Structure 1
Amino acid sequence: MTVTFALHPAASKYIIAKAVTQMPEVKNAFANGKIIIGAGTTNLQIAELLLGTTFEPKEEYIAGLISAQVPCITDPAVRKNWCIEKGKLINVDWLEFLDSFGPDDVFIKGANAVDPQGNVGILLANPFGGTIGRSIGIIKSRGIKFICPVGLEKLIPSCIEAEKNMGIYKTPIRIGMQIGFMTVTNATVMTEIESLNLLFGVDAVHVASGGVAGMEGAVLLAAECNSESQAEELLSLVKSANKISPLKVVKRKCSQCDNPCFYNKK
């Protein structure tokens, strides 16, 4: 039995976050080991679901964003990652915490792009590479589990080709921040497809994208269900997830920018 349904971006983020918290490696690291969750919109929901709490203001837990017509950032002075040890949120320097990680610990970082080959792309507003630039060497060299939640609204043809065209110092004229791009390979990618498979055991296919009137950025999926009850359980989650309102986050003020873009050119 094939069922079809659309998910707007906020709904997708919730379903992906819900699935990530149910991954065996995440449950094990949460109970017995260590987890770092990088700042981000989907990651915010992962942290809230794992820890059973809410975090406010949201801007403190989100780094880069595309909002108010531009790619930009939140206030870097208050930005935070989550460091979790044996189920408890701890207040430590995240890089020092990462230095204590072993192969059963988990690093969770969202992405700005994903391609059909399973590569993910992360935008870089910091000339030193930001969170991913400072952590990727440790993650790769030690074989730390790297989980990347990312919605199919961010599907692009090739992260490797995108990376070739990007660079902070390549774009003196632009709208929004100067940004670079890093392709990351061999992450455990969690899109809506992997998430629905984990939560319901269904195989889903991405068949279309886009929408209007609140469904901008939506993805249309077709999922193969084994029974009517399985289909109804899946669609009940879809209905409730689609009632979630888009996250409202305030970007950094243009007056605080030390490298103004074309957006404010008179």
Structure 2
Amino acid sequence: MNELHGKVALVTGGSRGIGAAIARELAARGADVAITYQSGAAPAAAVACEIKERGRRALTLQADSADAAAVAGAVDEAAELLGRLDILVNNAAIFLPGAEGIDELDRTLAVNVRGPYAAARAAARHLGAGGRIVNIGSNVAERVPFPGLTMYALSKTALAGLTKGLARELGPRGITVNLVHPGPTDTDANPASQPNAAAMAGLTALGRYADAAEIASVVAFLAGDDAGYVTGASISADGGWAA
């Protein structure tokens, strides 16, 4: 697989979980990859090492996605140090379970909505024709089966409007913008071995958690040339959660 050879990607929150899987998959398909991380320098370095072992360039950038200036700065730095920018994956997010306060709402929206907007705004200065923006949403934007998810669902639902709006704004320049809604995915933050995992898996049509690589492959498709006529779309890779 070499369809992304010569391309440069930035994955926010790429040091672990779905973000790390996306970074690895883009590198496996030929892209040089920059990742941002908030505090986990060691995991970010480990992902970068894996990317370099594939013969690709890698870059790690510390940036709190709640800080719009830091996010925009990371985009600009990635483009400068790697020479260009072709793909932005807005993956960084937080989930504050059961939170109800305004301060927690502000933090959630800052990371999950304002951060992607700031990154996309900065990326638009660097992306050319054929550029790709892929936003990472959530299955709970489509279906909220139990309490405690209101803030997270709100923030992830907002990405649908962001995606459609950006698709219209950037479409005339040949840049596509799409949204992927992952379902329950086996990561360190949401392991398939946790006590509630069976109940979560039971809400999907397939009855199981996703492997992070399964989400990454959908993102990689949207980042490639074969998805050139797909834009403004919300794609559920959720195992039938919303079926």
Shorter-chain TM-score: what band?
A: 0.3 to 0.5
Q: Which has the higher contact order (CA 8 A, sep 6+)?
A: 1
The two structures have a TM-score, normalised by structure 2, of: 0.35
Larger Rg: 1
Higher strand share: 1
The two structures have a TM-score, normalised by structure 1, of: 0.33
